[in-house]
Amino acid sequence: MTNTPAATVLPSLQTIQGLAGRMFEGILLYDGASRLVYANAAAHKLCGECYPRDLSSGLTLQQLLPGDALAQARAEGRWSGHLSFGGDAILMVHVYFGAEHGEHFLVLMQDLRQVRFHDQELLRRHAELNVRLTAAQEKLLQSEKLASIGQLAAGVAHEINNPIGYVHSNLGSLQEYLHSLFALIEAYERALRSPDPRAMIPEIDQTRARLDIDFISRDLPQLMTESREGIERVTRIVRDLKDFSRSERDESWKLVDLHAGLESTLNIIWNELKYKTTLEKHYGTLPPVECLPSELNQVFMNILINAGQAIGERGTIRVQTGHDGDHVWVEIADSGPGIPPEAQARIFDPFFTTKPVGKGTGLGLSISYGIVAKHHGRIDVDSRIGEGSRFRIVLPVRQPQATVEAV
């Protein structure tokens, strides 16, 4: 038995008229003689506002439209235009002609004031969505920053603990040296109070020898220098972490030294690289670059960490910079295994990663691409299997004025 599809049943005339009565657009239906046969409520309202004659008095199509509109609708099946009746009222009108079951003209009209209102509402919603999108992007960017710091936490802690360790050790030595120096000072004070200070010289010499004051005199400046360098090392790491973690809303476009940003980033991640990579730096002469520095530092960090993770037991990372006209470039190359050709087209896709589970979120390069695009730059990739990968970040020296003013 063959199932035949049920015939489509059109709604009743009353249903269609009821639906048309709820529309904001005006609907007029004319017969082939251009006589009005139907008008919905919106059409009565629009024509009542725009035309001195009411529809019920027999407003013809020739009276409603410009001279050539009717002929064009007959010839081409449609006509569109604007009708102005004075004042602020302007109607957008579409006329459709059909002769399948007797000639008829269908006229659709809209008040441009209402169209503008809807357009403004769409623009408002679009702006609101843009604000929400920007907030979501900023939140994602900040989350990725914190995730990067979380992955580096053990290495950063090691980089901080080392200098703190020897500063702590040096402080113990300093305490012993101070006790020895105070003991020598007491010996000198006793000599000054005695009737014959010269007679105390042998005792002072014995005290100096027992306390090894000559060694203390040689070791103390070196100990102080090491301690100061350790504190400065910790200060740099903390400052670099603070700069890196800064939220976009706290940062403004400024002229910065990209080399300082590279050094700051290398300072944070050095523990991740130093045990298996040889770092080569070939810095050119760069002008100050207008940018959001903490965001660019995140780009440098993402690519440098990827380079370090791509290298097996031992390899080389080369960082180069250069200046070409109105643009500067930063190139980070590694001697890793390279990126397979089928993966190269996807490396900037969100959540795409070739790393094992737990080694990456797949967002690092995607976020980096977005940051560089925001700076009106680009990232060029050249990777060959067995030879390694090269990422070149190209940035304009100055941003378009509209970009800076928008922040």
Alpha-carbon distance of 79 to 60, in angstroms, equals 16
Q: Is the model's pLDDT at 406 over the cut of 50?
A: no
pLDDT winner (highest mean) among 4-18, 204-218, 312-326: 312-326
Of 256-260, 271-275, 362-366, least confident by mean pLDDT is: 362-366
In the structure, what pLDDT confidence band is assigned to residue 168 with cuts at 50, 70 and 90? confident
Which tens digits make up the pLDDT trace of 171-204?
888 888 888 889 889 888 888 888 888 888 888 8
Cβ atoms < 10 Å from Cβ of 230: 20
Crossing angle between the packed helical segments 213-245 and 293-310, to the nearest 10 degrees: 110
Mean pLDDT confidence for 142-160:
62
Alpha-carbon distance of 60 to 39, in angstroms, equals 12
Strand partners, 310: none
Are 27 and 42 spatial neighbours (Cβ–Cβ below 8 Å)?
yes
Site of tokens 């002072």:
204
124: its two tokens: 């408002």
Q: Return the DSSP state at 11.
A: P
Handedness of CA 252, 253, 254, 256 (dihedral sign): positive
pTM above 0.85, yes or no: no
Handedness of CA 357, 359, 365, 368 (dihedral sign): positive
Mean pLDDT confidence for 107-121:
81
Strand partners, 389: 334, 383
Q: Is the model's pLDDT at 287 over the cut of 90?
A: yes
Alpha-carbon distance of 369 to 109, in angstroms, equals 47
Q: Is the model's pLDDT at 161 over the cut of 70?
A: yes
Alpha-carbon distance of 314 to 270, in angstroms, equals 15
Which tens digits make up the pLDDT trace of 36-92?
888 888 887 777 655 545 555 667 788 778 888 888 988 999 999 888 765 567 788
Q: Is the model's pLDDT at 358 over the cut of 70?
A: no
